[in-house]
Structure 1
Amino acid sequence: MKKKASRKEQQTTEPNSVHQVDTPAADTGTTPAEAADRPTHISWNIVARGVRVTSLLQEKIRKRNGKFEKHLKRFPIDAVHLHIALEKNPGEPPYSAALSLRLPSTVLHAVKFHDSALSAFEEASDVLLRQLVEHKRDLRREAEWKRHKRRTGARPKGKPRFAPEPMAEGTGPQSQTDVMRDLAARHYRKLRQHVRRLLWHDAMAGEIPWGAIDDRAVVDESIEQALADPERKPRDLDFDLWLRHLIHINLERRRREWQRNNREIVSLSEDLPVPEDIDEADGYDAEQPLDIIEQAEEPPAVERADLTEDPSSESPAETVARRDLIDALRRVVSKWPGELREIFEMYYVEGLDPEDISLVIGRRADEVNKLLDEVQARLRETVLDSSVLA
């Protein structure tokens, strides 16, 4: 049984106080000035309502935060934030602690009530720690971690540490919704590029003209739906996958609406250029489709390590040749049925597992595996028919 700390030491009633300390912004790792701003600690903040955050309470929180550090060493520092909300309530038990841990692909959340703010925090912290351990056990996309490391340049060499002090008053997320909104903002560009690639395939197939559907509107609608009712998110979906699932539903609805309201025949867009920014999405690896072509005549199983970027350099001529081949492959895929195009993008280009894809599109895992078999068979046929990619 946990020993209760003295209330006099831990908290006194104080209306809507917010205790939080600025930490450096995320680093791109490209210039000395930017390197100077590289985050060296994991940021965290406390929002207290009716609770006084004393130095003793902060010290207890710091020690408890240390238990998370060894489980966060594989995450980029700038992609992690811990939000702690302490509140005095009119009912019993009088104190609540709500913890939200933002990670690269999701937000973990735990709430506990107790007769002291510290005890409520400790119990919520225990729950959150178990969630973090379970979340790490479920992570199977090693290539995603490698891309995060290259992209942010902020992953520490040793065990990451929480900042010595919480963020300054008035800074940082003020609620669980704010934490989720921050995560959505980090994924925003990647999600828009995901939608743009799918819409480009639609235009190439002559199903919907390029520009008829606004990719930004699709992503914005999906984010607002996710933030409006966070409890709707299934427990087996990361926040990133939940957004993708909502995007899948909203994009399909907009496609049907456009086709219902526009009966005219859409001409095939054989000459539609690939938008340059499609290849610039966060986490997108333009070399991945080429790996698939090279392996297509071999057994179809593809390891995640095979989907990561080759760090070796190549000549400008080789770069041009590889991009021409990628463009040709995209045009072949655009002639496939829409569901196969989406499966190709999510599995081979974006690196999602079959289980994740099934959650995004709402199909059983065995159905997704059958679709993947068909995609792999089509890729092998494409490789054998060299004239297609000529």
Structure 2
Amino acid sequence: MARGDGGATTRGKRAAPRTQKRGTTGTGDPNLVQLLTPEGERIDSATGPDGTEYRVDFTDEEYRGLYRDLVLVRKLDAEATALQRQGELGIWASLLGQEAAQVGSGRALRTQDMAFPTYREHGVLYCRGIDPIMPLGLFRGVDQGGWDPNEFKFNMYTIVIGAQTLHATGYAMGITMDGRIGGDEGEAVIAYFGDGATSQGDVNEAFVWAGVFNSPIVFFCQNNQYAISEPLERQTRVPLYQRAAGFGFPGVRVDGNDVLASYAVTRHALDNARNGQGPTLIEAYTYRMGAHTTTDDPTRYRIASEVEAWRAKDPLARVKAFLEKQQIGDESFFAEIDEQAKQEALHLRERVLAMPDPQPSTIFDHVYAHGSPLVDAEREQAARYLESFEGSAH
């Protein structure tokens, strides 16, 4: 799916009609960048806290492509949740409600940019062209969750909260040392994490290093309002994006349920990083509509009315409303997308169920790139142990 030029202003071949005046945010919050209201009303442009003007100008086909991304990502995520409930996955971390933040930021990445995810960035993974079966092998327990990060410019899922921000910062520092800054081939890094991770030492240390070394990195915080069961007010006394100022780089809060604003803000921050202007912290203000993972029960710590209030801001519903208002999508288009999502989810299920169980010895295969005498000895010890059971196979 093609995307417009970089910078705070992005342009396509033809834009849909706009319904609100330039310079408004549509939210009543001057610090929240929004380009598409929950009712599906298109906003011409929005101004960030530092005066940056954000806008997008996509073709009709690009708008439809974003909707397709959102629907497919949600359906595949729902299928994975169902698989876990049926005992086919050990655990699953759903992105329900956060699709716009992930699709918008994922589509803002250029081919050469590198992404460092947590364990919930299924939408970004999809936008990077990675087969959605890849993370399910990890959560099914049939592989070690590995893929080639350089092939997809997408690092492996990181379970340890916040650890990926240091990995990303180190990678970004390497980009600078290698002179890959500026020009059409300039590179940038994006590191994803949640609001709870901002309380981790790793994240704050990454902010220090990135700021001091002016590294080409975008810190993308999906503030879904809860760090597992702790609400945001238990984590911070100031909006998260304002923390960036203390580390010497800009921060901006974007409506994380608005795929257009998420794209525009991320693309601008990546362009700045790529051209030597250093880090940016983006706080995507969104909501986790489901459980933290399938082992969590969110009804124990939040009330139904809160969930319903956020459901009215659903990222998919607002894009669908926009397409309908502007006559960009009709019933046949929406039906086609729903059918495509259904078929892809069914195909994903079939492939998960067909995954072969691994041989126990494979756990030793990729510990070190060039092998290790210690690992070899441990492999032999494990093999002897398994052979001690009559009729065992390994």
TM over 0.5: no
User: As a proportion of its length, which structure holds more helix?
Assistant: 1
Larger radius of gyration: 1
- TM-score normalised to structure 1 length: 0.26
